[in-house]
Amino acid sequence: MSTPQAAHSLPPDHFLLQPRQDYLVGAYEGHVDTSTLAAHDFDVDTRTGFMPPDPPLSRLPEQWELWETTLDAAMQAKLQLAVKPGLTTKDEQTSGSWRDHVKRLPVLPTFELVRSELLLRRAHHVLSFIMHFYIHSLPLSSPVHIPEPISVPLVAVSNHLQLPPVVTYSDNVLYNWDIIRPRDQNELGVEPPALDSLRSQDMFTGTIDEQEFYLASARIELRGVEALELMRATMDEMFVGDEIAISRITGYLHKLASIVGELKDILLDVRKGCDPSTFYHTIRPWFRGADSDPAHRKWVFEGVEEQPTDLSGPSAGQSAFIHALDVFLGLDNCNVVEGGVTPDQRTLLRRMQIYMPRHHRNFLRHLSTNPRPVRSLLAQETPDAELLDAYNSAVLSVKEFRDAHIKIVAIYIIGPAARERKEREAVDVQAEDAPKDEKIVLKGTGGTDLVRFLKGVRDKTAEAVIEPTLESTR
Report which residue type is found at 392.
N
Mapping DSSP onto H, E and C, the string for 56-87 reads: CCCCCCHHHHHHHHHHHHHHHHCCCCCCCCCC
Helix ranges (H only) for 137-207 are 148-161, 169
Report which residue type is found at 327.
V
How far out from the chain centre does Cα 419 lie?
A: 27
What gap in Å lies between CA 316 and CA 405, rounded to an integer?
10
What lies within 8 Å, CB to CB, of 352 at 6+ separation is 315, 317, 318, 323, 446
**31 is an annotated ligand-binding site residue:** no
- Would strands 299-301 and 144-146 be described as parallel, antiparallel, or unpaired? parallel
Nearest to 186 by CA among 357, 16, 8: 8
Contacts for 140-143: CB closer than 8 Å, 24+ residues apart: 140/82, 140/83, 140/294, 140/295, 140/297, 141/295, 143/297, 143/298, 143/300
Q: With beta carbons less than 8 A apart as the criterion, state whether 45 and 51 touch.
A: yes
DSSP, residue by residue, 347-415: HHHHHHHTTS-HHHHHHHHHHHT-SS-GGGGG-SSS--HHHHHHHHHHHHHHHHHHHHHHHHHIIIIIH
Torsion of CA 44, 47, 49, 51, to 10 degrees: -100
- Maximum Cα–Cα distance across the chain: 76
DSSP, residue by residue, 399-466: HHHHHHHHHHHIIIIIHHHHHHHHHHHHT-TTGGGS-TT----PBPTTSSBHHHHHHHHHHHHHHTPP
What lies within 8 Å, CB to CB, of 296 at 6+ separation is none
List, as residue ranges, the binding site.
405
List, as residue ranges, the binding site for heme b.
405
